[in-house]
Structure 1
């Protein structure tokens, strides 16, 4: 923050006469006009302005028209977020087809764009995401720290494709840029209240106004969300997968001089839901012997799940679940106008504390009685930029960035009395004795530090009024270091037996990684006319390398950990994109098209550990992946009363080369294959007399990447009619928003058992709103009560049990908002 303070002192000493506005304040006026009925065409996912209007974005660190910026970008305004019930990143996927978000709990979350961003599976502290999350220009290093409810949000910009020059090396897939409402010198207040089934309640409120004439303004915002769970635990007699979120945000704007403004912001968020549970979805055959398949193991324990239909939403897990987290921070943003250029400083400190409780065997038997990884993270960041002002033949942005992060994690895994039967051969002495694995405990102490520094710049040259050429470079340095210590004890405090160490093995290692890399991009844009704009982009980008902090596999002899896989190489990205942005019919129709090809060498993928009960795999570099496709964003306003939109994404994402991948469930669980005993046919169920054999690794080259639907659509419309209620004039409106995703693989290695079927969701709303300050509407989401899974996973130990996380059932309610 010393840089920001230095800016203040220098500006006060010599302040030019021309006033300056914060970029967020500039775009606030446009967004406010849109929300008040003028040009809100970005609402409900529409991309593009209404007739005579422009949607202004800050995607390239300056205020620009969304239609003219040569980036594939979607913008969702604050009104659209409220009316579509999009109050977090997960719900944003329903109106943004190319965005994918998967989460088994806040820590184990991943945001992907065009199928890229983060490895599919449980989180590994030692690597970073490939989709950058920014809130008011502050970088959020963990997707978990961005699982808050949107509070007092002006707009969200979703930038697709590598953004490494201006947004950093870890935006190889894209960026989500969240902009909250700026403090106002005009007094104002907003209140929004929502109630619905499942005891849903959400309250949001904000107030803003001057503190010192036209010098200092403040904005205070708060949000509360609660909802009863949608899954009933028949054993614990309680609803699970609930919501319980509270947040508070404050921003103080100081117009320190006509050419200088400073914004001090702070936020605090607390979440403590009874969450998150996955449970029985189906059973598949593995290569285990018949008496070690899930059905036989459950029968031997006289156990049956409450229902084999997952959409009955019943579970009987025997461990309390908890997903408690606290997150927040402080930031100071300064903008100093020098006339020809503006200097911007962004100083920030953030924290994230995670306190979970999970049942990772997913059923009501005491197999894994605890699998928790409480974690505490803190980060500091400093960015300093200079950007040219005004229209000129040569525009530029240049800057420096520094980031430091520290994470401390305390892992705990405890096996229960049923673990012996499920994880060992039930016919062996160890497998017949519940005491063999009962109370086998692994306590893990994990430390991690991450330091990154960068210098970056981007030029835009306008050789003619229609043509612009924009090269960009970013030089980046990363250093990561960690330590992983796993202490394993048994229930008798004696030396570990072979059965016990085969399930949980003591480990201790201290990985380190450091690397320099250079990212670059080149965009050529051409304005064919006032309403037709084209661009072509090539980008060479990097996602930082990392270190494995979830335990390592044993060596071939099974005597020690394999230290050769303790680090992960950076991903190297080559990206090509062509885009065309058009408007016609007096700007009543907007149609934007982008086609892209992205190839990644050394793709960071999840690989299974051969140990039976290890919950988490480790990370390794796949040879090469690629994603290619096309995106169409359209908006229509045939009349002043009707708005409609249709967005489509076709994404073909595949492993080009991955020869040492983990094997899918149908090929796992058998004895190690040899030349004399080759791997069994997929899905064969073995027997004690004739054991099945599994390959050590599988070649999945040519198969699809996990989590990516080949087709994803969002579409909708809103129609309104003018009415008068007494002396109040307003509009009655009817809105519809729909989305569709085709089937996708829910496993790093595609499996016949873990494909999620395609599904569609329909949402309706009917309401009344006045021109500026009042809105009330009834809504129903997932109106046709579509049964679908958000993701599927496998139980540890290759038993064949597939567990799932169903999406929300039909919900309905009423929302009322009022501005003052």
Structure 2
């Protein structure tokens, strides 16, 4: 009861602060942009694939500057969790390399690549098709734009939730060096640097950027006392920009990312002997140096709670999660042609992931997994932006995407029978092509309408299956490739399928400029998420296919700058009709006695809510920022087939990863100190209770409300050539559950949020 009182009191305090125009976190993260004389700065974004003042863009969009990212001490996109209204960034318990992005209740609930995405992650104009590796490493970032609601007209399929658009810093054409070195607790060590090199003055510019970050893990292994969940990532990026004249620029960039992290960490949250894999707290064997930890879950009828110190168990295989990413991008801009301003973006990405997971997290025989994935994508976009007249602007273009991945999952099932192993291979090819157009027409100096449409054709082919093996010597071998690996094949199958889909998405909108600093807008957008096949199958019928899901979102909002641009308030309200939802659903196999599991278009949902963002300059040197978001996301229709065979009506239940309330509050203060300038920044974020995994919303899998407090304090001399700062994340050292997976009768999997982190950073800029 006390915690409930505290959660609602904190939320009401933030609401009161916003209502009295003393706003709190970063609407567009503006505190890091230098304000214009007498007011807040203008923020330029490319949310509609043309450069515009964010206050003139008629959609709900938040822009986070590169300096704001640095203040967060975030190493990847997950570090933005809690800072942007109605955006949730997570990963599943056993797949830390697969991103789970959810905007306004629309997200994915499956880590493997076959499930696709509902939020597109775009880096320098190239969409990242695979969720594996989509938690982009954040360094040398110019800004991040988060677009909420369907963005299919300009960004294509799989943007029903929205788009996270990441722009890195491009070559400047002038010599410059910038970088930073960080040391913190958990032996965290970061080093980042970027060098701009003018190769031919005014014509050819180069740039090299590099980052390395490492730290120890937050968990202790009861088997040998070592840390678990360590991080070790290196990223290299290079650019070459050719500008022969004022109308042409060509930029070639390449990137290599190397991750050598510890294996995924799972905690066993089973609640008693009714689970097949469970060890009571205090249990000791000759194979461990610390006693069995206390389960964080006390009952299936209550949420789990994180302990003061994090323990887990790992007693098999290599402690590794290795990933290699290769990216290449060629961007060509040609202005003032007879066809308008032409942009061509060619992108290629290849990745390889290999990791081992102790799924049961107890000492002794259990369930262990090897996951190996290789994939690549090639994309090409060609578009033009033309002014047909003073009143009509048009964008027209085409987009092509080709992808391939093969995924191998090998599971040792020692808990069921020593020597039993199951292999689950997947092999998928996909291609899509689309044509799009979006027009803007000024009916008067104040009134504008827009209309956009996109036609997409795509084709997917999948081969997936299951093979069961047995080792008569009692302990199954760990296999990292398809085949027997010396074991005896008990049986298996392969299922294959190919299907094509055609989809049309559109957007209609109107906006009205009441004054030079106030914009009203409304829109109707239809988007879709691609259809596909199920890759993890227990029998051939599981393969599918499943069809696309569709979303209609109606949005209205106001953007305004008040009091000589000392106060910025942006408010957006929305209603979403979500249908043909792709959900993992049980089904009765022919014969009526066996239940299978696949993905079906089995549900409808209704989503509504709002986002309020604010920025204020109440005094010289002081910036206050804030956000408040409300989300009501519920199934409108969903007949769920329980493993027991009973049909359960889930209508009225909350969607996954959809907290009802979220908020943030922050302040930045700059003041002259000695022969330089001091700068302090503080940020508080709140996220209401939510579900991440578990369609039925059992109490066990509910994620508790979270409160996080971050801060940093720095000083730089006059001229700003260097800065020394101290910082902290989760300063109050709150320990929370991050994710829970319920495996009825077998074991529960749990993971925790990061504990308190703190350190010191030295920045330089020459």
The answer for the alignment partner of 2:702 in structure 1 is 755
Equivalent residue number for residue 562 of structure 1 = 541
Q: Does 1:740 align with 2:686?
A: yes
- 1:610-629 to 2 correspondence within 5 Å? 618-629=598-609
Cα deviation 1:7-29 (Å, max 9, x = unaligned): xxxxxxxxxxxxxxxxxxxxxxx
Report the alpha carbon displacement of residue 784 of structure 1 after superposing the two structures with TM: 0.7
The structural deviation recorded for 1:548 is: 0.5
Give how far 1:485 is off: 2.8
Aligned in 2, Cα 1:769/1:626: closer, same or farther, shift over 3 Å? Answer: farther
Relative to structure 1, the CA distance from residue 363 to residue 618 in structure 2 (aligned partners, 3 Å threshold; closer, same or farther) is farther
- 1:705, 1:238 → 2: CA distance? 38
Structural mapping, 1:127-526, within 5 Å: 127-281=115-269, 283=271, 305-309=292-296, 310-311=306-307, 312-320=309-317, 321-338=319-336, 341-368=340-367, 370-388=368-386, 392-416=390-414, 419-420=415-416, 437-492=417-472, 506-526=492-512
Say which SS state the counterpart of residue 67 (structure 1) adopts: helix
Q: How far is the alpha carbon of 1:797 from its aligned partner?
A: 5.1
Residue 724 of structure 1 and its aligned partner are, at CA, apart by: 2.9
Provide, for residues 94-131 of structure 1, a one-character-per-residue CA deviation record: whole Å limited to 9, x for no partner: 3113211121334433111112121x2x4232231011
Tell me which protein shows more strand as a share of its residues. Answer: 2
* Alpha-carbon contact 2:616-2:623 (below 8 Å) kept: yes
SS of residue in 1 equivalent to 2:67 = helix
CA distance in 2 between counterparts of 1:177 and 1:292 reads 43
SS in 2 for 1:568: coil
Alignment of 1:815 with 2:730, yes or no, is no
Measured in 1, the distance between the counterparts of 2:30 and 2:666 equals 8
Cα offset for 1:159? 0.5
Give how far 1:618 is off: 3.7
Matches within 5 A, 1:642-661: 642-661=622-641
Q: Distance in 1 between matches of 2:586 and 2:757?
A: 38
Distance 1:414 1:296, change over 3 A: closer
Map 1:738-817; keep pairs closer than 5 Å: 738-746=684-692, 747-770=694-717, 772-794=720-742, 796=743, 798-799=745-746, 801-817=747-763
Instruction: Find the aligned partners of 1:562 and 1:604 in 2 and give their Cα distance.
Output: 16
Which structure is larger by alpha-carbon Rg, 1 or 2?
A: 1
Counterpart-to-counterpart distance in 2, 1:59 and 1:171: 13
CA offsets per residue over residues 512-532 of structure 1, 9 Å max, x none?
221001100111011000111
The one-character-per-residue Cα deviations of 1:746-785 (angstroms, maximum 9, x if unpaired) are 3222111111110100112111135543222111111111
Task: Tell me what 2:105 maps to.
Answer: 115
Partners of 1:603 and 1:807 in 2: CA distance? 29
Aligned mate of 2:521, from 521, 532, 535: 535
- Does the CA-based 8 Å contact 1:743-1:757 persist in structure 2? yes
| Deviation readout 1:597-634 (Å, 9 max, x if unpaired) | 111111112336999xx9x9642223202221010000
Residues 699-756 of structure 1, C-alpha deviations (whole Å, 9 max, x = no match): 211101111111111110011211233xxxx321222101001111232221111111
Is contact 2:32–2:67 with CA below 8 Å preserved after alignment?
no
Asked if structure 1 preserves the Cα contact closer than 8 Å seen for 2:624 and 2:668, the reply is yes
**Alignment-derived partner of residue 23 in structure 2:** none
Q: Secondary structure at the match of 2:358?
A: coil
Residue 46 of structure 1: CA displacement?
8.2
- For 1:56, the equivalent position in structure 2 comes to 44
Question: 1:337-375: CA deviations, max 9, x gaps?
Answer: 12572100001111111111111223223121x312201
- Does structure 2 conserve the Cα–Cα contact (< 8 Å) formed by 1:280 and 1:305? no
Q: Tell me, in whole angstroms, the C-alpha distance in 1 between the residues paired with 2:597 and 2:198.
A: 53
The 10-residue stretch of structure 1 (594-603 or 320-329) with the greater mean CA deviation from structure 2: 320-329
Cα 1:460–1:292 shift into 2, 3 Å: closer
The correspondence of residues 61-80 of structure 1 with structure 2, limited to 5 A, is 61-80=49-68
Cα distance in structure 2, aligned partners of 1:345 and 1:210: 24
Does the 8 Å CA contact 2:29/2:62 hold for their aligned counterparts? Answer: no
- Describe the shift of the 1:210–1:452 C-alpha distance in structure 2 as closer, same or farther (beyond 3 A): same
Name the SS of the counterpart of 2:114 in structure 1. coil
- Whether the 8 Å CA contact 1:48–1:67 is kept in 2: the answer is no
**SS class of match (1:80):** helix
Task: Provide structure 1 residue ranges, at least 5 long, that are not aligned to the other structure.
Answer: 1-39, 285-289, 421-436, 495-503, 555-560, 669-693
Cα 1:236/1:507, change in 2 over 3 Å: farther
SS of 1:808 mapped into structure 2: coil
1:390 Cα deviation after fit: 10
Summarize the Cα distance change of 1:623–1:356 in structure 2 as closer, same or farther, 3 Å threshold: same
Q: 1:46 to 1:710 in 2, by over 3 A?
A: farther
Report if aligned partners of 2:241, 2:252 keep a CA contact under 8 Å in 1.
yes
Alignment check: 8 A CA contact 2:121 2:127 kept? yes
- Structure 1: distance between partners of 2:712 and 2:80: 17
Greater Cα shift, 127-136 or 102-111: 102-111
How large is the RMSD of aligned CA atoms in angstroms? Answer: 2.7
State the distance in 2 between where 1:348 and 1:354 align. 20
**Structure 2: tracts of 5 or more residues without a match:** 1-25, 297-305, 475-489
Q: 1:445 to 1:294 in 2, by over 3 A?
A: closer
Contact in 1 for aligned 2:280/2:294 (Cα 8 Å): no
Matched position secondary structure for 2:48: coil
1:710 is matched with: 660
Distance 1:441 1:697, change over 3 A: farther
CA distance in 1 between partners of 2:464 and 2:619 (Å): 62
Decide whether the 8 Å contact of 2:379 with 2:402 is kept in 1.
yes
State the alpha-carbon separation in 1 of the partners of residues 554 and 27 from structure 2: 29
Partner SS, residue 165 of structure 1: helix
Change (3 A) 1:578 1:344: same
Alpha-carbon shift at residue 258 of structure 1 (Å): 3.1
Contact 1:45 1:75 in 2 (8 A): no
Moved more, 327-336 or 94-103: 94-103
Q: What TM-score do you get using the length of structure 2 for normalisation?
A: 0.87
Task: Point out the more displaced range, 262-271 or 308-317.
Answer: 308-317
